[in-house]
Structure 1
Amino acid sequence: MLAKRTIIGFVVGSAIIGIGVFSLISSIGFQTVDVNETFGVGDSTSYQITANSGAQQHMKITGEKFDIKLSSPGTGLQIPNDEKDGTVESYEDELILDWVHQEDGVTRIHIQNTGSTDLEVDASLNVTTDPILFSYHIIVITSGVIIIGFSMGFTLRKPKGF
């Protein structure tokens, strides 16, 4: 017969292991991040999009006037843009960027609102998860195993003298 503490520990440990395994499996591959942000007059923002080759990205920027600086991994700019990599360009009203990552790496986008109205950024980005998250998921699973191990100790008989 198992002790009540053993059963509770087994249930809690199993739940923690289940959460860790689910998180580990769901973090494999591309993760879609939807961005819907508004920036006031004079505000700026930066986006760093880490993705593997083949990741499709979409970004719509709406505002009276804004400056944008783009850079992408590899040689040359892979985002649709007339200027050279890393130069600042000014836009008015609306800009729609649709691109596919041709190489693994980080695309950097810096946006500065230079108009007299709010700037809206609406994007759907496919990013790869940070590799350190794999370690976090393994730590959660390991902690569940340790909880089950300690709770199983409650079923053992204590030797004489304890």
Structure 2
Amino acid sequence: MLSKRTIIGLIVGSAIIAIGGYSLLSHVGTITINEDYVLAVGDSIPYTIPAPDHTSQHMKIVGDAFDLKLQSPGAGLQIPNTSYKDELKLDWVHLEDGETKILIQNTGNSELHITGELIRSSDPIWFTFDIMVITSGMVIIGFSMGFTLRKPKGF
């Protein structure tokens, strides 16, 4: 017969393993980021988008005036530091694995509104984090099974 502490440990450990497994599956492949950002007057923002080849990127920038510099990997879209007014729509495709680097500087008299759908590759650190979560669930189950075998003093 299992003790109450063992049953609680099994439930908690199983829940942690399930959360880690779901997270591990969600971090496989590419991640879609829906960007919606407001940039104050005079501020700048850099974007670095690591993505595999053949991923399409979309970005729309609306504001009084702004400067934009974009470098895409390989022979992709390349925009030197250029000034724009009112609105700019960018659509490009990564032709090679690599990082697109974007620098946006608000040079106008009003806020800059940046929206976009950016597809990026998953960061490998998340794989390690998810494995650590699953392992901690297994450790919790292991400790809770010890309560079934014998009752330690003080419990």
| TM-score, normalised by the number of residues in structure 2 | 0.94
Q: Counterpart of 2:61?
A: 61
Q: Counterpart of 1:141?
A: 134
Q: Secondary structure at the match of 1:103?
A: coil
Say what the alpha-carbon RMSD is for the aligned residues.
1.4
Query: Given the alignment of the two structures, is residue 106 of structure 1 paired with residue 99 of structure 2, yes or no?
Result: yes
Q: Could you tell me how far apart the structure 1 residues matched to 2:51 and 2:63 are?
A: 27
- 5+ residue gaps in structure 2? none
Cα gap change, 1:94 to 1:5, in 2 (>3 Å): same
1:41 positional shift: 1.2
Cα gap change, 1:67 to 1:3, in 2 (>3 Å): same
Structure 1 segments, 4+ long, off by >3 Å, are none
Deviations 1:88-146 (A, max 9, x none): 11111111000111111110100001111111101110111101110000000000001
Letter of the 1:101 counterpart: H
Overall identity of the aligned pairs, in %: 57
- 5+ residue gaps in structure 1? none
Q: Secondary structure at the match of 1:50?
A: strand
Q: Could you tell me how far apart the structure 2 residues matched to 1:98 and 1:105 are?
A: 17
Query: Given the alignment of the two structures, is residue 117 of structure 1 paired with residue 110 of structure 2, yes or no?
Result: yes
